[in-house]
Amino acid sequence: MELPLGFSFAGVHCGIKPDDALDLALVLSETPCAAAATFTQNRYAAAPVEYDRRLLSLNREQVQAVLINSGNANAITGALGMAATRRSAEAVEAAFGLSPWSTLVMSTGVIGVPLPVERIEKAMPRLYQALAAEARTFELAARAIMTTDTRPKMAAVRGRVGHAEVTVAGFAKGAGMIHPNMATMLALMVTDAAIAADALQEALNQVVNLSFNRISVDGDTSTNDTVAALANGLAGNSFIETPAGPDFEAFVELLLRVASSLAKAIVRDGEGATKFVTIHVSGLSADEDAHRVANAIAISPLVKTAVFGGDANWGRILVAAGNSGVEFEPKAAKLRISGGPSADAMLPPLLLVSDGEPTSYREADAAQRFAQPELLIDLELGSGPGQSTVWTCDLSYEYVRINAEYRT
């Protein structure tokens, strides 16, 4: 995995999780970075979310580190939680000789439990010794932020931006409480591109809208959801000062490739998930309407359980679309289903509904598609230009077990 110039990574055990499990990650740039982030819209925003919002209001051009702990969300913990977040950031800044307000903090885990910040402070020497600009330490950092995840989620791409080669790398965590509007999910992307903070924020906004805001596991958003990006400029490309022009578009494309890969990996690792589902809705008057319909299908428990059982109960898909609040002509609906062992080996699309009525398809053909680990639901609701794609997964017995036993 190719990593951006000037970044180093560490993942260690600090004692938040039991049994020596990795629970603390640090990403450090050798030079200050432009920074951008998007956050949860949940009213119960966690202490690190509030802290990072404050930090970015004060400093968006000189951020140099990101500290992430797992096992404790530090959410709904009051003034003590905010103080613990501040102490965590200050511990990094003191240990690594950084300026004040230069360290973003993220947390994930159980809500409502005080963060044992003294364990994080004591772990600074271990983080210092573990830091390295290697794929191995990059993976350790990715593993250190996991909660119910079964595997780390990582991606990296390299491409030309203007006259220079630019690299974007990122890691993420998330398996449950995943839904648009910052669907418990954390993601960090780092790049050696030279770009202004305002332009980086616009790039991140565009990319999140097309990736992390297009996934749903269970319809719940978390208190801690954060997607952040740091850019240290060491690639030497011509400085991207404004969110316009071919260099900006090339950078957005690289960022989107990483974000989309991470977002899909979150869905594939959804709690208890056995199937990956792509929902494409088209034919409406606006993309926003298509997105609302696709989301309604993605969060429907009836649709998700039918997918888990391999039951070709397509009526649930249309009912979910009809409950979305979007106006469309039901008689215009065309529903196609495809499935396969992977996205590159799908069975031919099967037309189940045309002009709002069932076709004369064979039930065995529909069941064959619904039984596949990859499923594509393609719903056409008219002739308008609006379209959207959302990624989701099925809802299994294992999802219920995981969340019934989360604290025990």
- Cα-based angle 280, 222, 138 (whole degrees, multiple of 5): 85
The one catalytic residue among 40, 184, 191, 223: 184
Q: Is 184 annotated as catalytic?
A: yes
The first and second tokens of residue 66, run together, are: 């990101």
Note the Cα 16 to chain centre separation in Å: 23
Closest CA to 406 of 46, 70, 109: 109
For residue 8, which amino acid is it? S
Instruction: Specify whether the CB–CB gap between 184 and 177 falls below 8 A.
Output: yes
- Cα-based angle 284, 295, 286 (whole degrees, multiple of 5): 25
The first and second tokens of residue 187, run together, are: 């993601």
User: How far, in Å, CA of 176 to CA of 96, rounded?
Assistant: 34
C-alpha torsion 311→317→319→320, nearest 10 = 120
Closest CA to 189 of 88, 82, 104, 94: 104
User: How far, in Å, CA of 310 to CA of 136, rounded?
Assistant: 39
Q: Where do runs of H (alpha helix) occur along 193-234?
A: 197-209
The first and second tokens of residue 250, run together, are: 């090339």
**How does DSSP classify residue 272?**
T
CA 62 vs CA 128, 277, 371: distances in Å: 20, 40, 51
Which residues are designated catalytic? 184
